[in-house]
């Protein structure tokens, strides 16, 4: 249960203001048909997080627990600091209608997610926790929790939310989670 909750929380925080969230906003305002976008994000998130978590689980079987906790903690602190720099959507402005909303969402979300904070978080958490299903479920649900409101209320959110304050708060929480892992590593 801990792996599920930590994965959910970490990925949801990392996704706030992320380039994939900006992509979802772009798709939602462009196509204005939310359900194919939701399904595309779900499929892409599940695939992306599963690949990252599987790689993380493989790495996790090769490292000692103390070293693993230190690595996860350090990566969380680094991600927290990384979150202070706002993401910008680069190269994703042109989306064509002829490929279908679902396929466009699936493909662009997968590409945007490659090497993203949320994917790195899933990898690190799967290495730390030996519960692959919980990490995949938690990280996928975290992505969905943050992106589904953007799909349905995209333009309204973009104009009204204090994104800078949200980014700072989520960055601080990510650093705190990282610190917990680092303290845990010191006590092993």
What local confidence, expressed as pLDDT, does residue 94 receive?
A: 44
Strands (E), the chain: none
Residue 104 and residue 27 in contact, taking contact as beta carbons nearer than 8 Å: yes
What local confidence, expressed as pLDDT, does residue 181 receive?
A: 80
Whole-number Å distance between alpha carbons of 162 and 67: 37
Q: How far is CA 152 from the centre of its chain?
A: 19
What local confidence, expressed as pLDDT, does residue 131 receive?
A: 93
Q: Read off the DSSP letter of residue 168.
A: H
Residue 7 and residue 142 in contact, taking contact as beta carbons nearer than 8 Å: yes
Q: Which of 25, 19, 23, 6 is nearest to 160 (CA)?
A: 25
What local confidence, expressed as pLDDT, does residue 172 receive?
A: 83
What local confidence, expressed as pLDDT, does residue 149 receive?
A: 92
3-state DSSP percent of the chain in helix, strand and coil, to 5: 80, 0, 20
What local confidence, expressed as pLDDT, does residue 147 receive?
A: 95
- Average pLDDT per 10 consecutive residues for the chain, totaling 188 residues: 93 86 82 89 96 92 78 77 65 50 89 86 90 96 94 72 71 81 84
């Amino acid at each position: 249960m801990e792996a599920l909750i930590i994965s959910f929380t970490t990925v949801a925080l990392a996704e706030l203001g992320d380039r994939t969230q900006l992509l979802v906003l772009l798709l939602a305002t462009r196509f204005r048909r939310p359900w194919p976008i939701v399904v595309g994000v779900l499929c892409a998130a599940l695939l992306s997080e599963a690949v990252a978590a599987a790689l993380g689980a493989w790495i996790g079987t090769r490292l000692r627990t103390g070293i693993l906790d230190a690595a996860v903690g350090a990566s969380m602190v680094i991600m927290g600091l990384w979150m202070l720099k706002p993401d910008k959507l680069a190269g994703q402005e042109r989306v064509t209608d002829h490929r279908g909303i679902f396929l466009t969402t699936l493909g662009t979300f997968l590409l945007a997610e490659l090497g993203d904070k949320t994917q790195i978080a899933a990898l690190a958490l799967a290495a730390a926790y030996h519960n692959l299903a919980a990490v995949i479920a938690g990280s996928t649900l975290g992505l969905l929790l943050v992106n589904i409101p953007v799909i349905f209320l995209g333009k309204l959110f973009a104009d009204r939310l204090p994104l800078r304050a949200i980014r700072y708060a989520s960055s601080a929480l990510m650093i705190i989670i990282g610190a917990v892992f680092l303290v845990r590593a010191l006590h092993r």
